[in-house]
A and B are shown apart, each in its own frame.
Chain A
Amino acid sequence: MMTRAAYLRSNHLSRATALALAAAVMLVPANLLPVLSTNTGGSARTDTIMSGIINLWHEGMWAIAAIVFVASILIPLLKLAGLAWLLLAVKRRATGRRRGLTRLYAGLDFIGRWSMLDVFLVAFLAGAVPFGALALIEPRSGIVAFGSAVVLTILATDSFDPRLLWAEPGTATAAPLPSPAPSP
């Protein structure tokens, strides 16, 4: 018979792993497809996330470039790496550095939202300067992929339960299943 804790462990772990993997897959088209095309009086260009950042850097707006780089490249990668670490720690039932791992999870939970920055950025640019008379800025399909990747990382962090890090093999896991497990 499966204990309640074991049931929760397998359930949460597989869900979080699946979502993290989906996010990792989604990041590939998100970074390869163009997210925005701009047309400034004659010179038209289509940017992916990375080329947009490089362009900003070359135009001298390196603070802005750094913000966008951190939000849309660094944070998703950090989140996936951190999640992988946490999942492995739970799989291995590592009992050391639990406080550190819990802190890591809290950190991942906090930084996750900031990677939505690029989606808001494209939406705002497209709304402020619409396609039509001015014909300046147009959103491209990469932003949908990027948005989905961000949502998937947030869902993955959400479905990982940090309480799994603290499950004692001797005490808590021995409890029998009292009722159908509530899903949070």
Chain B
Amino acid sequence: MVFFYRAVEMVLECALSRFPSDTDRRGSPSVSNQFNSASARHFRPRSMIAPGPASLPAASSHPLTCRWCGCGHRRVELAPGERARCARCASVLAQRSRFGPSVPLAFTLAGLVFAIPALLLPFVTVDRLRQEHVGFLFSGAEVLWANGMKLAAVWVSLCGFIAPVALLGTLIVVIVRTRKPGAGALDRVALRIAHALERWAMPEVCVLAVLVALTKLGSLVNVTVGPGMWCYAAMAVMLLLAWRSFEIGSAEAVPGATPH
């Protein structure tokens, strides 16, 4: 455990020292807090569906489309910690992380680091009548598979582990690429993949289920939580923090080089 804390600390330090935060780079954030709602309303809703990644011009000239109601908005630069809301449906359009893009990167890397021990270390140990059984992260899926419930097995391993890890990997690509000026079609594809994966990555649900199951099992047998479970929970928290500090459309709304 100590080793992992050290590793995470080192990763955090590297990430924070290598990339200066956005405010440092740009001086004081220049423009408006809220995006100007009068001018945003001036935009007619552009089209019902945002154009696909292939047909897009450069990211900077492309207006920001609300993913809930499809209303188009002019881009403005947000100060750290600010949110922009859609002028029409009032849902969060974009959010800029309080600490700059390094922090989601740090959380993402930490999540990936935690994923490895979560997979390899014992998840839970059950002993009853002096017989000990060590369960791992995937043993639930294995049992389901062995009992002929292959669909459920695939589903559990997809939502519990594969999608979260893939999401973390995609987030790294998205975050690293948005630092560079001139975001291209590839970045939009990565962002789309991230949004698609986010729907299916539910480690926090799995953590709650494990907690419920432990209380239930506790009355039947002796259960001990293994280090794998703690690492898995840490991964879930890291994923949540990374996604929250990254948030919807922030890669689009916090462009490296777009003064509206």
Contact = CB atoms under 8 A, between A and B. Distances in A.
B24 to A, nearest CB: 35
Contacts of A8: 48-49
A129 interface: yes
B contacts with A: majority SS: mixed
Contacts of A56: 216
Contacts of B124: 124, 128
B10 interface: no
A175 B223 CA distance: 63
Among A8, A106, A120, A184, chain B packs the most CB atoms within 10 A around the CB of A120
B209 to A, nearest CB: 3
B205 A175 contact: no
- Say which size band chain B's interface belongs to: 35 or more
A144 B149 contact: yes
Interface residues of A, number: 63
B155 A147 contact: yes
A139 interface: yes
Contact of A117 (B90, B140, B205): B205
Nearest to B146: A131
B49 A144 contact: no
A166 B213 contact: no
A124 B210 contact: yes
A44 interface: no
A61 B216 contact: yes
A129 B217 contact: yes
B58 interface: no
Contacts of A13: none
Contacts of A128: 123-124, 126, 133, 135, 139-140, 213, 217, 223
Nearest to B92: A106
B216 A125 contact: yes
B151 A147 contact: yes
A82 B118 CA distance: 37
A181 B128 CA distance: 59
Given A102-B69, A105-B68, A161-B49, A129 B221 contact: yes
A134 B73 CA distance: 61
22 contacts: A4-B48, A8-B48, A59-B219, A61-B215, A61-B216, A98-B69, A99-B89, A102-B68, A102-B69, A105-B68, A106-B91, A118-B209, A120-B140, A120-B159, A120-B210, A123-B152, A123-B156, A124-B124, A127-B138, A148-B151, A163-B68, A172-B47
Interface of B: 44-45, 47-49, 51-52, 55, 68-71, 88-91, 123-124, 126, 128-129, 131, 133, 135-136, 138-144, 147, 149, 151-153, 155-156, 159-160, 199, 202, 205-206, 208-210, 212-213, 215-217, 219-221, 223
